[in-house]
Structure 1
């Protein structure tokens, strides 16, 4: 993969003893606390889980099909890096605009549009016969992913009161690790087959990786259908003065979670008295596209003033480095593991070599092969070991979410950020010296797990400091910065790897050192 509302709302829904009235957002928070956590939230998390699997597939499916498709599509090392990076290039074109429009026009429409679009273009990718078609389809998958992801995470967060929101966010973020396990298992089952179907006398050929993409597209189709049954965020509706719709949704959540009649709901008459003071024309105005656009632009102004703009710059820079490293390690692991699987840490001369020595040998051979013309290309496919290790990494990636879920409310986000970043720095620096398969898998697993947690924490920090009217836009901006980092990282990694293995790993270690420094300048909590 993920974004929650941690703004200064009514704490735990406690009634205020002073004469200052609750704001509509505080009233929503109090009503959500009265609704509790129940069947509705379980259904919401299940829907989110399916959606996250579909979202993770946008980038992860590419990394698994590279060894299988390299001969069919005649890919060299740089083309593989570009294919890994292209979904993030597509995300750059839509993330900020989608974030702004989502805060202005609602969460749900962008979620369903994005997921259904991913289904369509994944099937286009599945039918591709040449590299250019595949890379174009992956670009549009990334474009549509960005329209859905921030909105989906924000939607989940805004159905939770601030007493449980941090933990729900971390739980939802852990779905990314679970998705990687499921994807690795399905990839193992599908890509280890040798399927080959030819049509029109060989004019149109479907290989194993084509079927793999077609099967994986079903996740986005199911997610689209499930999200159709999830209501719009009551917090968004309140910002649009749609109080009747917001109250109806809160009543539905209460009845679903508790099984009680709406007459028992403490906030069943919420906003009914104040509704009389709202002119009838307001609803008509709020339905106006131009009015919503002007209001949305007005609501973004505080985000570009001190202190919010300084927080935004720091977190965007931090997320640039975090997502760059995370996605380089995650997307290149199947390829690196395949190299390890077909080579040895002991050279033909009987000497031991580390990971960098092995990768230097591989890139040297790859360069030499590209200089000669060969009529027959034999792909070096991933074996069971690669998929098993990917599954192990996925399971390990879940652990930090449980740890951070316990610690986030006790020691705070900033100390967790600093500590986790230092662990990632040590793991990244040590990776190039790894001299066994166990060491490589352990360091990859530790690093990706910590980096996933760092992304979740950085998003939680954004949600704590940015109000509802700018939250999705702020998240979209930090995700855009991270996607730029991913794009730069995946394109530059194979180029630097060709020079010498030590260069990309030293660069990545330096990036995490920058994140440690930036984390120290973040405020501890919202005042």
Structure 2
């Protein structure tokens, strides 16, 4: 490509960026005219169902570890691998789906993602072996990751910039709601002694099978609800489908205001642009590829590449400790519930359990296995943990503007390190639940702050890719943490807690390297 062609291409790129910025402003003005009404209530409820289905996908296995350890012949390492499978699945599709979403639309990926999540959660409910369940959970993660970023984009792009931040904060509170709902459903189903034997005992449905079948209905409902929503007007604009974008805005307006189309101020928006856009020469694949690389190139240059590496490390560690504590809490709570009569020291209880687990490993189809099933206390504790996780969104909305994201992250890091160490010396059920719940809540806030800083430090042209890379590394932390935790636990109870505290200390010190963002 000659120098003249490069200059012409750069000028075309700048013109396209200005045009896109103006069109986004027009969409914002039209959405403000649409107001907030029944359509947005439907949108928020759909996001609620979708995010709850996502929580079920990532956390449901933690509740069946004690229930199905004999049915599936699981040891500690196999439990850790099972917990890690959804996150491993998400790693395989996260970045690819992030790129393809812009080409094929948000709605397409959301519907396909939740449809696939429903199918494989249903298969999990029918699984009879550890291998089948593990593969099904992996596939759940693959499909949900394809829908997650599209779901957030679809939700935010139907909200104008005046209410978008508040709507997304409300959406972030749906995750702890999902944790509470999951604990309640686990409590209601897993305590039942449901065992149905079919085909002469070749196919057996246990309580945990019915548990997964019930959870799959949420992904099915999310798929249906998103299929009933229109495509994002922002996506239609990016594809120069002005007629479709205008029709979507008219639909939002009429559903929110219950007024006729004639009263909509922007009912003729972009009609004059359709004829012009049809005459424009479309960009070739080579130019589109060159434009894409030109846009992301600054992300791999100073200073953005330094921030990318730093935020990847922070999110890797934050999500590692958050996921490990959250997914292993039901199992540890069950251990405390069964061994608390012998001692009040948490590590003595855990070491006794790991010793008994080695002795009672099933030799023939689980006949010698004695499972330590979760009782009412474990589910009550999980409800408490999920309820306490409501606090981070509230805290962050009040404190971030006063102390700054970096400073708040550093404070949370020191608190998390202290709480993780304190868990090892908890000597009562109350202290164990209080320390675990607070630790999970604060580590959740750390992960949220990291992701918010990515949005702040990276420009629009590289923001989506930067977030995809940071989230991929974060989920790698979730996978490695779930696999390493049982290995460390098998070495001795204190080992994983000291290890987690040490790596949180490292990430807290690294946070000091983040320079304050200039407004």
- 1:364 and 2:355 aligned: yes
- After superposition, residues 141-290 of structure 1 pair within 5 angstroms as 141-280=140-279, 285=282
Q: Contact 1:170–1:456 (CA<8 Å) still a contact in 2?
A: no
Deviation at residue 188 of structure 1 after TM alignment: 0.6
Deviation track 1:163-188 (CA, whole Å, cap 9, x = no partner) reads: 33333222211111000111110111
C-alpha separation between the residues in 1 aligned to 2:82 and 2:417? 27
Q: Is the 8 A contact 2:360 2:368 kept in 1?
A: no
Structure 2 equivalent of residue 9 of structure 1 = none
Q: Which residue of 2 aligns with 1:326?
A: 322
The answer as to whether partners of 2:360 and 2:369 remain within 8 angstroms in 1 is no
Is residue 111–residue 151 contact of structure 1 (8 Å, CA) maintained in 2? yes
Deviation at 1:521, TM superposition (A): 3.3
Structure 1 counterpart SS, 2:65: helix
Q: Is the contact between residue 115 and residue 220 of structure 1 (CA under 8 Å) also seen in structure 2?
A: yes
Structure-2 separation of matches of 1:43 and 1:28: 20
User: d(CA) in 1 for partners of 2:21 and 2:491?
Assistant: 61
Query: What is the CA-CA distance between 1:370 and the residue it aligns to?
Result: 4.0
The corresponding residue for 1:459 is 451
- Contact 2:70–2:362 (8 Å) recurs in 1: no
CA distance in 2, matches of 1:80, 1:443: 23
Instruction: Indicate whether 1:28 and 2:20 are aligned.
Output: no
Q: Contact 2:361–2:368 (CA<8 Å) still a contact in 1?
A: no
Question: In structure 2, do the counterparts of structure 1 residues 300 and 257 end up closer, same or farther at CA, with 3 Å as the change threshold?
Answer: farther
Partner of 2:390: helix, strand, or coil? helix
Q: 1:78 to 1:516 in 2, by over 3 A?
A: same
Q: Which residue of 2 aligns with 1:503?
A: 495
Where does residue 308 of structure 2 map in the other structure?
A: 312
Contact 1:108/1:232, CA 8 A, preserved across alignment: yes
Aligned counterpart, 1:123: 122
**CA offset at residue 508 of structure 1?**
1.0
**Which has the higher relative contact order, 1 or 2, with Cα contacts under 8 A spaced 6 or more apart?**
1
1:426 matched to 2:425? The reply is no
Structure 2 distance, partners of 1:43, 1:290, is 41
Separation in 1, partners of 2:135, 2:513: 40
Answer whether contact 2:82 2:134 (CA < 8 A) is retained.
yes
Q: Residues 382 and 59 of structure 1: is their aligned pair in 2 closer, same or farther, counting only changes over 3 Å? A: same
Matching of residue 339 in structure 1 with residue 335 in structure 2: yes
Distance 1:265 1:371, change over 3 A: closer
Contact 1:99 1:474 in 2 (8 A): no
- CA 1:37–1:450 in 2, change beyond 3 Å: closer, same or farther? farther
Is 1:519 the counterpart of 2:518? The answer is: no
Q: Tell me the alpha carbon deviations over residues 268-318 of structure 1, each in whole angstroms, 9 at most, x when there is no partner.
A: 444344444323466xx58x9998777655654444344433332222211
Give the root-mean-square deviation of aligned CA atoms. Answer: 2.7
Aligned to 1:4: none
Corresponding position: 1:380 with 2:379: no
In structure 2, relative to structure 1, the CA distance for the partners of 1:310 and 1:125 (3 Å cut) is same
1:66 paired residue number: 65
Per-residue deviation, 1:382: 0.1
Corresponding residue for 1:449?
A: 441
Conserved? CA contact 1:99–1:475, under 8 Å = no
Distance change (3 Å), C-alpha of 1:371 and 1:132: closer
Query: TM-score scaled by structure 2?
Result: 0.89
Q: Supply the distance in 1 between the matched residues of 2:257 and 2:412 (Cα, whole angstroms).
A: 38
Partner of 2:513, secondary structure, is coil
Change (3 A) 1:260 1:403: farther
CA–CA separation in structure 2 for the residues paired with 1:202 and 1:505: 42
Structure 1 stretch displaced more, 418-427 or 494-503: 418-427
Alpha-carbon distance between aligned partners in 2 of 1:89 and 1:325, rounded to the nearest angstrom:
16
